[in-house]
Amino acid sequence: MSPLLKIVLLLLSAYSPPRSSGDNGGESFFETCPPTKCSKRGPTIRYPLRLNTQPSFCGREGSELSCSANGSTLFHLPFSGSYLVDSINYYSRRISLEVQDGNCPLQSLLSMNRTDSILEYLSTNLLVVNCTRGGGAIDGMAGPIDCLQNDKDWVYVTDASATMDKLPSNCSISGNGAILFDGGDLVAGVERILRTRKIFMYWRFDEGCNECERKGNYCGINTSTNGTICMNPRHPSK
């Protein structure tokens, strides 16, 4: 072997990254459950969410995403089917779901069942109000909502905690539901959903992950202890 080749080999071995011992729960977690995407432009999928092709311990319970054939990302609710994912913010714990064309965004939201999913149950109760045709906008109510009405009535929704003495005489309550908002006014929120067809949902708070994500790092779990671990994505071996 030439002395030059020897030096090159020496340098190469000196720069080779440290090998994982295999019993380090942190390193093996990010090796087994690496952040992934359905397409270049799609949102990053990582703990506490996971792709359906990854082992179940890669995400918290009810956090399963999948990739459709065209590269879009889908979020799977155990009792409500799949929703198209628009964006994911890991620090805010927010997933933005897009209601597909042809479906009424509000109907989709009212019938969404979050049982056994990672999504938070916190919500604002709303009332579905049914009025005779012709009124137009009503103060304190969102609507009239085209995709919820029938031939006879115009349909509005309002905050269930709002005083009901304001309900016009030709209106009646025809249903109720729960909706999750990032704070703010319910009427404005419903109008935003109708306009954008996008719904913001949040997953449950985790102190350890919050600390980690706040610093721009990636949260994960030590699979041998279930404790939170934190990885700097710019220095994955640290």
Ligand X SMILES: *[C@@H]1O[C@H](CO)[C@@H](O)[C@H](O)[C@H]1NC(C)=O
Contact 105, 89 (CB under 8 A): no
Does residue 26 bind ligand X (CB under 6 A)? yes
Question: Residues 196 to 225: which contact ligand X by CB under 6 A?
Answer: 222, 224-225
Which residue, 84 or 160, has its beta carbon nearer to ligand X?
A: 84
Cis peptide before 35 (omega within 30 of 0): no
SS (H, E, C) the chain: CCHHHHHHHHHHHHHCCCCCCCCCHHHHHHHHCCCECCCCCCCCECCCCEECCCCHHHCCCCCEEEECCCCCEEEEECCCEEEEEEEEECCCCEEEEECCCCCCHHHHHHCCCCCCCCECCCCEEEEEEEEECCCCCCCCCECCCHHHCCCCEEEEEEECCCCHHHCCCCEEEEEEEEECCCCCCHHHHHHHHHHHCEEEEEECCCHHHHHHHHCCCEEEECCCCCCEEEECCCCCCC
Which residue, 89 or 103, has its beta carbon nearer to ligand X?
A: 103
Taking the complex as a whole, the smallest distance from the CB of residue 18 to ligand X amounts, in Å, to: 14
The residue from 94, 174, 202, 208 that contacts ligand X (CB under 6 A) is 174
Q: How many residues sit in the footprint of ligand X (CB under 6 A)?
A: 30
The residue from 153, 187, 192, 213 that contacts ligand X (CB under 6 A) is 153
Taking the complex as a whole, the smallest distance from the CB of residue 68 to ligand X amounts, in Å, to: 4
- Region binding ligand X by CB under 6 A among candidate stretches 2-10, 19-27, 89-97, 204-212: 19-27
Over the window 111 to 150, marking each residue x when it contacts ligand X by CB under 6 A and - when it does not, the resulting string is --x-x--------------xxx-xx--x-----------x
What does the block give as tokens for 24?
């380090």
Which residue, 92 or 237, has its beta carbon nearer to ligand X?
A: 237
Taking the complex as a whole, the smallest distance from the CB of residue 5 to ligand X amounts, in Å, to: 37
Which residue, 92 or 125, has its beta carbon nearer to ligand X?
A: 125
Give backbone dihedrals phi and psi of 78, rounded to 5 degrees, phi first.
-50, -35
Does residue 20 bind ligand X (CB under 6 A)? no
Distance CA 233, CA 126 (A): 41
The residue from 168, 191, 198, 204 that contacts ligand X (CB under 6 A) is 168
Taking the complex as a whole, the smallest distance from the CB of residue 198 to ligand X amounts, in Å, to: 14
Q: Which residues of the chain form contacts with ligand X (CB under 6 A)?
A: 24-26, 68, 70, 72, 79, 84, 100, 113, 115, 130-132, 134-135, 138, 150, 153, 155, 168, 170-172, 174, 222, 224-226, 229
